[in-house]
Amino acid sequence: MSEFEELRSWSPTAAAAHAHSLKSAREAHAHMLKVAAARRLRALERAGVERLEDSDYWKQVAPSAVNKAKALRADPEFPPLP
């Protein structure tokens, strides 16, 4: 499965199950950024088929995943990125 197909198949249930299996703070951080990207792609997809309400929803929820990733980075125990 390509990364794009994987992002398109994202679901809240699958994301929650995956989040519990993460082994490190860095992995959780990368996962949250991936979730944000999937939400943005979903917004573009919904806009492309003229489902503007759906598109607006996905645009509005994408920043929440970025904020969660940002909160992980703010933790003093988060390992520094290279």
Domain containing 12: what range?
3-74
Q: What pLDDT, on a 0 to 100 scale, did the predictor assign at position 77?
A: 83
Q: Would you say residue 80 lies in a domain?
A: no
Q: What is the dihedral of CA 25, 22, 56, 54, to 10 degrees?
A: 180
Task: Tell me the pLDDT tens digit for each residue of 6-34.
Answer: 555 555 555 555 555 667 888 888 899 99
Q: Would you say residue 28 lies in a domain?
A: yes
CA 74 from centre of chain? 18
Is 30 exposed, middle or buried (CB count within 10 Å of its CB: 0-12, 13-18, 19+)?
A: middle
Structural domains in the chain (count): 1
Q: What's the predicted TM-score (pTM) here?
A: 0.67
Contact 63, 10 (CB under 8 A): no
Q: Would you say residue 79 lies in a domain?
A: no
Tokens 């959780």 sit on residue: 28
Q: Is the pLDDT of residue 58 over 60?
A: yes
